[in-house]
A and B are shown apart, each in its own frame.
Chain A
């Protein structure tokens, strides 16, 4: 009993993390077409923080988000939502996990075109068969400024308003963590700023945890923490990023 097995080795506490992954590897395709999207990433996302994942196209930032969120499976390694390892979950368990603990904001196609604003926001709750916390939902809708747009259909809303609905939907079930995939990628800079402020507000005032994939240094400046990804590996971590510090980080990467 003199040696200690690796799995019994003390690991850093994960108590304060909303999600984390250990040795995450993702390989697409086989043989000649093999693409290593993630090359062994170990990272945690602290609760109550707004984190951005930065990186050039093909750096693996979207793959990292998708596997963290249980939308896609890792080739090897493990991801956790809270303390729950998700690689062993079956489709049904994953669905329930997404429903209860995860929120999503996508770049586009966030809303069901046939449902109105409020129906879109409560959709995850409806799918779960619960009514949710009505006063919380009202508060969320109020916060994102859609109180007078509740019965509008998506095609009657501007792009910015649609994205605010998506943010509200992600918040509606008070998930443990919200993942955003370029949530402002399709918006002009003024509207982007508005949405990012809302997300910042949700973290600071409502205590939510948000992880956002972006390639825009200005977006990253709204977050508490920026991760730089290159070729499937984390190459830099920038606490309290500003537009300039992120620019510099990108510059240094390119050199």
Chain B
């Protein structure tokens, strides 16, 4: 029997190859996601180990409960002197670092930065056994000198001995002599190195450290060293072993990589889901084409179970072969994804691609299961073929349609219920809502796919009537062929439907977000200029706001921050972490609209967001206790309740003066600038640009530029998402080719007859192309409708106020529908050519 299976497979290599394409694509995407994430993880693991090479223990500030900074927490430098004489200490290197605070500047005044990885400023005492840096050229920096990594020096065109401009964390640009270049086994980050005193000065952190690296003397274990150091160290710091430190860094990187990998995997699973329909369809057609053969097998003694097993075995073999190819293809996909993201501005560290056993197992199991799953229904259909089929044409019963209605409803109804529950927010949590919506959508897709066979015939006929009107008999043939087997039309169109539904849904969401944002921008922002870090939303020094305020052209310049604070509500036993917006409350509302429903933004109190106040029964005059980085409790009176409709994200607002003394490294998210009345805007802008130039990482934008910038970001995100979803369309495309090719094969005799009675090759080709167009249009139409409905439902499910304007991108939708038709034409190219080439006599003689 295995012989029958393998021979059957090799006999229909062509059509199975097309089926395999869809499995291979899906599987390769899954495998690529794993490979990429694993490769990244192993590179980062290596880097983490490199950082601590030669180090046995690390001293750092005791991590506070909350820390409003991207940087390490600092502590007093006297700790280093205290620990220098501890027993077992060999080398000790006190240090301080700055994450995205200090940059080198090129001749055009632009910041030199790698794409993706950060720029790190690190204090460096020169090459030693515990320093990870290797001196490549020149020497270690002292005083007004700097060392840069080789890549950065090359990027800026700097030679050793030259003067390099560096923007400091204090908002000034200083000149340093390039003392040397270094290398670090790094993931592409840029490094700026000074000696310790210069580092402290540049960061504005005189007398402070953020870490002390210690190596142990011969014969002293790392654990022993940690114990000795901890005993001698003050309470403000903790000592950890290098292994612990490495583990922490790896976990941190790991969780980022996990998120990234999971997102990719999500897209991969969507692709695989789409390919299920294509595989199902191919097997269904293959079975129906071999009805006579299976009837013969049944007649000469094959049991229905054997026929079923045969089809399933066939799918097993195909699944295994396709999964192996997909696994290998995954390496290509990983490389392609790396390239795609690097084109999009991200960057991945160099490193070999990792194919772990886990990936192989998961990918093989998933690929094979998906294939077999897709073949189950065709296999059961095959097992019901009567032995009589070998000699007579036995018409297919009506039963399958009824089965479809029942089965389709069984799937669709729970799908809709889940969607409804998700929309009603039954589960409470966001992830719960997403789970409801996700499962609901999957079931809805399957249900609609099954039920679409009920109306596929009628809709295809309706879509075909203009074709018939325009193309006469050719159109008539196309229309009839597209509508005569509704099950096949609907299964073929399903893949396209899902792909386009997702793309449409994402587009509707994106355009609604844009519309919502524009509404907000019009109402809520009154500033003339915004200054912020565009690439990663990094915070920066509040000094800039003060410097701008000093300009005569500027009426108001306000820095805005959102800090994390520990909030204890009246009567609550526990403090909870929450977002607290902080700015100069006297002038801030001239920049960002904050509508007060009650009270005011008095500078010594706290204002509460409307829904937070309602949820917790807060009223004016109550006292809320808030603490920031230094954990000092601040008792603040509720002085105001503000409207939801503000772009500020915190649930609370305090004045800058309240928060600043309690923040470790005071920082702001953006500065809003209002020009003084009557000034020339161009001149004012020039003055602001000049001051802001000291922070070359920042972008200065007026309202229009800001809006365009945000839209640009949404558009590029949309592009990446649609690029990933585009794979679904490719699979759908192969599905249409496959179905058309199989249909042509099935209709060989009929085509011969058409040719015999005078249909020209061109007419035949045209009719097959038009048939595919009708199928493509059907899928696209269904997809666009589903996409709009699902997106609309999704918007309704989001927390209130998240998306307030629903915008349907009509032009894009029209393009998607046209895309369906175009995919149809292109997919029909080879099947149409093949049909036209058929020899008339042979075709007629075919049984």
- Complex contact B4–A114 (CB within 8 A): yes
**Set B10, B387, B390: member contacting A109, Cβ < 8 A:** B390
Give the distance to chain B from A153, nearest Cβ to Cβ, in Å.
Answer: 9
Interface string of A90-116 (1 = CB under 8 A from B): 011001101110011011111011110
Contacts of B306 in A (CB 8 A): 127
CB of A98 within 8 A of CB of B387, answer yes
CB <8 Å contact, A127 and B297: yes
From the candidates A72, A115, A128, A181, name the one contacting B301 in the complex (CB within 8 A).
A128
Is A112 a contact of B388 with CB atoms below 8 Å?
no
Decide if B286 is an interface residue (CB 8 Å cutoff). Answer: no
* Distance A146 CA – B8 CA, assembled complex (angstroms): 24
- Asked if B297 and A104 make an inter-chain contact with CB atoms under 8 angstroms apart, the answer reads no
Residue A66 at the chain B interface, CB threshold 8 Å: yes
0/1 interface trace, chain B 1-21, chain A, CB 8 Å (1 if under): 101100110110000000000
Q: A66-B388, A181-B391 are in contact. Are A106 and B296 (CB under 8 A)?
A: yes
Which residues of the other chain, A, contact B388 by a CB distance below 8 angstroms? 66, 71-72
Segment 291-330 of B: residues with Cβ below 8 Å from A: 292-293, 296-306
Q: Mark A105-142, 1 if CB is under 8 A from B, else 0.
A: 01111101111000100011011100000000000000
Docked CA distance A223–B306 (Å): 36
A92 near B303 (CB under 8 angstroms)?
yes
- B10–A169 touching, CB < 8 Å: no
With A114-B8, A114-B11, A115-B7: A124-B296 Cβ-Cβ less than 8 Å: no
Q: Say whether B686 faces chain A, with CB atoms less than 8 Å apart.
A: no
Q: How far is the CB of A116 from chain B (nearest CB, A)?
A: 9
Is there contact, CB below 8 Å, between A112 and B304? no
Question: Which of A92, A98, A107 contacts B300 (CB under 8 A)?
Answer: A98
Q: Determine the distance from Cα of A100 to Cα of B392 in the docked complex, in whole angstroms.
A: 23
Task: Give CA–CA (A124, B390) in the complex, Å.
Answer: 15
Contacts of A115 in B (CB 8 A): 3-4, 7
Question: In this complex, what residue of B is CB-closest to A115?
Answer: B7
Judge if B573 is at the interface, Cβ distance under 8 Å. no
- For A103, what are the chain B residues with a Cβ–Cβ distance below 8 Å? 300
- Which residues of B sit under 8 angstroms from A96, Cβ to Cβ? 301, 303
- With A108-B847, A109-B292, A113-B11 known as contacts, the answer to whether A95 contacts B4 (CB < 8 A) is no
Count of chain B residues with a beta carbon within 8 Å of a chain A beta carbon: 27
Contacts of A114 in B (CB 8 A): 4, 7-8, 10-11
Determine whether the beta carbon of B391 is less than 8 Å from that of A112: no
CA A224 to CA B574, docked complex, whole Å = 103
* Of B1, B7, B387, the contact of A127 (CB 8 Å cutoff): B1
Using A72-B388, A98-B387, A115-B7 as known contacts, say yes or no to A127 and B296 having CB atoms under 8 A apart.
no
Docked-complex contact A104 and B304, CB < 8 angstroms: no
Residues of A within 8 A of B299 (CB): 69, 71, 98, 104, 106
- Contact indicator A99/B301 (Cβ below 8 Å): yes
Smallest beta-carbon distance A95→chain B, Å: 4
Q: How far is the CB of B395 from chain A (nearest CB, A)?
A: 11
What's the Cα separation between A109 and B299 when bound, in Å? Answer: 12
Which chain B residue lies CB-closest to A169? B300
The interface residues of chain A lying within 8 Å CB-to-CB of B387 are 71, 98
Interface size on A, residues (CB 8 A): 32
How many A-B pairs with Cβ below 8 Å? Answer: 82
Residues of the A chain whose Cβ atoms lie less than 8 Å from the Cβ of B296: 106, 109-110, 112
B303 to A119, Cβ gap below 8 A? no
Find chain B residues with CB under 8 A from A66 CB. Answer: 388, 391-392
Complex-state Cα separation, A107 to B305, whole angstroms: 26
Task: Give residues 1-47 of B contacting A (CB, 8 Å).
Answer: 1, 3-4, 7-8, 10-11
- Closest CB-CB distance, B77 to chain A, in whole Å? 82
Which B residues are CB-close (under 8 A) to A108?
A: 847
Find chain B residues with CB under 8 A from A124 CB.
300-301
**B1-A126 in contact (CB<8A):** yes
A107, B297: Cβ atoms under 8 Å?
A: no
Residues in A whose Cβ lies below 8 Å from that of B7: 112, 114-115
Q: Interface centre among A72, A98, A106, A112, by most B CB within 10 Å?
A: A112
Which residues of chain B (805-847) have a CB below 8 Å from chain A? 847
From residue A81, how far is it (CB to closest CB) to chain B in Å? Answer: 13
Measured in the bound complex, the distance between the Cα atoms of B296 and A169 in whole Å is: 12
CB neighbours of A98 from chain B (8 A): 299-301, 387
What's the nearest-Cβ distance from chain A to residue B533, in Å? 66
Least Cβ–Cβ distance between B12 and chain A, in angstroms: 9
Report how far A66 CA is from B387 CA in the complex, Å: 10
Contacts of B390 in A (CB 8 A): 71, 104, 106, 109
Q: How far is the CB of B297 from chain A (nearest CB, A)?
A: 7
A95 and B391 contact, Cβ closer than 8 Å, known pairs A109-B847, A113-B11, A115-B3: no
Question: Inside 8 A of B303's CB, which chain A residues have their CB?
Answer: 91-92, 95-96, 127
Task: Report B384-417 CB contacts with A as 1/0, cut-off 8 Å.
Answer: 0011101110000000000000000000000000
Q: Is the CB of B300 within 8 A of A99?
A: yes
Cβ of A106 and Cβ of B301 under 8 Å apart? no
Assembly CA distance A96 to B303 (angstroms): 8
CA–CA, A96 to B292, complex, Å?
20
A188 CB → nearest B CB, Å: 16
Residue of A with least CB distance to B12: A114
Over the window 61-81 of chain A, the binary record of Cβ atoms lying under 8 Å from chain B Cβ atoms (1 yes, 0 no) is: 010001001011000000000
Q: How far is the CA of A55 from the CA of B1 in the complex (A)?
A: 38
The proximity string for A residues 5-24 relative to B, scoring 1 for CB distances below 8 Å and 0 otherwise, is 00000000000000000000
Pair B301/A119 contact, Cβ less than 8 Å: no
Minimum C-beta distance from A14 to chain B (A): 24
Q: Name the residue on B nearest A109 (C-beta).
A: B292
Knowing that A98-B300, A109-B292 touch, tell me 17 more A-B residue pairs with CB under 8 angstroms. A92-B303, A92-B304, A92-B305, A95-B298, A95-B304, A96-B303, A99-B301, A106-B296, A107-B391, A108-B847, A112-B293, A112-B296, A113-B293, A114-B10, A115-B7, A119-B3, A169-B300
- 23 sample A-B contacts, Cβ–Cβ < 8 Å, listed by A number: A71-B299, A91-B304, A95-B301, A95-B302, A96-B301, A96-B303, A99-B301, A104-B299, A106-B390, A108-B847, A109-B292, A109-B293, A109-B847, A112-B297, A113-B11, A114-B8, A123-B300, A124-B301, A126-B1, A127-B297, A127-B300, A127-B301, A181-B391
A residues within 8 Å of B by Cβ?
A: 62, 66, 69, 71-72, 91-92, 95-96, 98-100, 103-104, 106-110, 112-115, 119, 123-124, 126-128, 169, 173, 181
Q: Which 4 A-B pairs have the closest CB atoms?
A: A99-B301, A114-B7, A95-B303, A114-B11
